[in-house]
Structure 1
């Protein structure tokens, strides 16, 4: 059995995937706009890489084409999505450079298109279950890969998604903390819920690059964020690479199983 392409979606600081062999850039047209995807192989497995902010970080978080991106990955036959989010820490126990495999989210955005199902299609009104927004089996793969690669990763956390592109106020971070938020970012929602609507398994690695406003005692600067990215980016890629290499080894051993709960995207989406 041949695996479908593995989707890797990343943002700030992750504008290409150097490990991809024979990369080919492809622009896909969808009902929700265009999406740019780079396809190739990683340890021999097919991978589709998508950078949210475009080349040179030209697209701000509130204008990312989330629906086009997820639809394009579904159209390519992807079933699993590994996401990378660069975040600020709400939990004071987290430090720049820490990795978190989140398991829940808070949606604090205000004006983004949030769903494929706006009531105008033949499927009518659809209410999607998000009791497990981040797929448990895919999360387990990420955590196992992190352990194998020797990079500590926190098992579980709540991603608080803000509208951006500005950073959050101290009051907003206090509100998110009261609601259980662990890390703060600007791109995790609606990406995670759209993947769920599309029948894709989705899991996310959060790379902490700064204390959120009010958690630290200095202003947040892009220079500080880029310094953390420069020293921590490799760890994230090593975790993902270990996961891919493990899958490749499983394939060689003939131990390939397809997700059994994810609906085919053509059935899940209008």
Structure 2
């Protein structure tokens, strides 16, 4: 594979205008198989790898995703930069449904997931990975520049709280997260971010708010809200990536 950039996502990923998938790579890793084959293709004039986080058909729940295999497979494919698309719930008042943000920090509320390569197994190396800034500032900057160039309103920062899923949170849980300083809540951001850091991948998240967190705003039909937000928001995501991906590939080739 001859590409340095990957997009991890799911909903709407295979329906981008101009996206041409050229190869499917069924790979294996020391940690098992990734969620889905690595799809190598071309979009917006650049070559990239696309990985369906929840598997083909969107069947894998957040806690059952093989995050270690996903990150390892991308690194072995020659990827340097990773853009992770995440559908999240809004907690901060400035992050309504269909809003887009580039989070700068994360709080991990998950449990029981395989969260490190330093697992004490034979051949593994003990690493105390540094997470003061969990997201790559270089990738974050290009995503923000891409939004500016596309004329898309975007939140330039935010704290992502990551819960176990697949159930949604209670009102009390969202209020606790709000007190903790979370601006949004998702289910897949960890250990995805920390594993990418362990492998030296430049990783950042492009978060799409698809609903309000429990008890934040109203009690309408949450599933209808999610569907509508995805319909609107994925257009914004694609517009941002149309500017950001070419810039990231150009920078990767300079490294």
- For Structure 1 versus Structure 2, the TM-score category normalised by the shorter chain is over 0.9
Report the 3-state secondary structure (helix = DSSP H, G, I; strand = E; otherwise coil) of the residue aligned with 1:24. strand
Identify the residue that residue 208 of structure 1 maps to in structure 2: 209
Identify the residue that residue 14 of structure 2 maps to in structure 1: 16
State how far apart, in whole Å, the 2-side matches of 1:61 and 1:229 are: 18
State how far apart, in whole Å, the 1-side matches of 2:40 and 2:46 are: 11
- Which of 139-148 and 53-62 deviates more? 53-62
Report the 3-state secondary structure (helix = DSSP H, G, I; strand = E; otherwise coil) of the residue aligned with 1:167. coil
Report the 3-state secondary structure (helix = DSSP H, G, I; strand = E; otherwise coil) of the residue aligned with 1:106. strand
Q: Is it true that 1:122 corresponds to 2:123 in the alignment?
A: yes
Q: Output aligned runs, 1:85-96, within 5 Å.
A: 85-96=86-97
Q: Output aligned runs, 1:210-225, within 5 Å.
A: 210-218=211-219, 221-225=222-226
Q: Output aligned runs, 1:153-172, within 5 Å.
A: 153-172=154-173
State how far apart, in whole Å, the 2-side matches of 1:223 and 1:5 are: 37
TM score, norm. by length of structure 2: 0.92
State how far apart, in whole Å, the 1-side matches of 2:22 and 2:82 are: 18
Q: 1:142, 1:243 within 8 Å by CA — same for their partners in 2?
A: yes
Identify the residue that residue 254 of structure 2 maps to in structure 1: 257
Q: Is it true that 1:40 corresponds to 2:30 in the alignment?
A: no
Identify the residue that residue 241 of structure 1 maps to in structure 2: 242
- Which of 146-155 and 43-52 deviates more? 43-52
Q: 2:196, 2:202 within 8 Å by CA — same for their partners in 1?
A: yes
Gaps of 5+ in 2: none
Structure 1 residue ranges, 4+ long, deviating more than 6 angstroms after superposition: none
Q: 2:142, 2:248 within 8 Å by CA — same for their partners in 1?
A: no
Gaps of 5+ in 1: 259-270
Identify the residue that residue 82 of structure 2 maps to in structure 1: 81
Identify the residue that residue 268 of structure 1 maps to in structure 2: none
Q: 1:213, 1:220 within 8 Å by CA — same for their partners in 2?
A: no
Change (3 A) 1:26 1:17: farther
Q: 1:7, 1:73 within 8 Å by CA — same for their partners in 2?
A: yes
The offset of 1:171, in angstroms, is 1.1
Q: CA RMSD in A?
A: 1.8
State how far apart, in whole Å, the 2-side matches of 1:120 and 1:220 are: 46
Report the 3-state secondary structure (helix = DSSP H, G, I; strand = E; otherwise coil) of the residue aligned with 2:194. helix
Q: 1:210, 1:220 within 8 Å by CA — same for their partners in 2?
A: no
The offset of 1:219, in angstroms, is 5.2
**How big is each residue's C-alpha offset from its partner over 1:150-198, in whole Å with a ceiling of 9 and x where there is no partner?**
1011111011000000001111111111111010010111000000001
Identify the residue that residue 192 of structure 2 maps to in structure 1: 191
Q: Is it true that 1:230 corresponds to 2:231 in the alignment?
A: yes
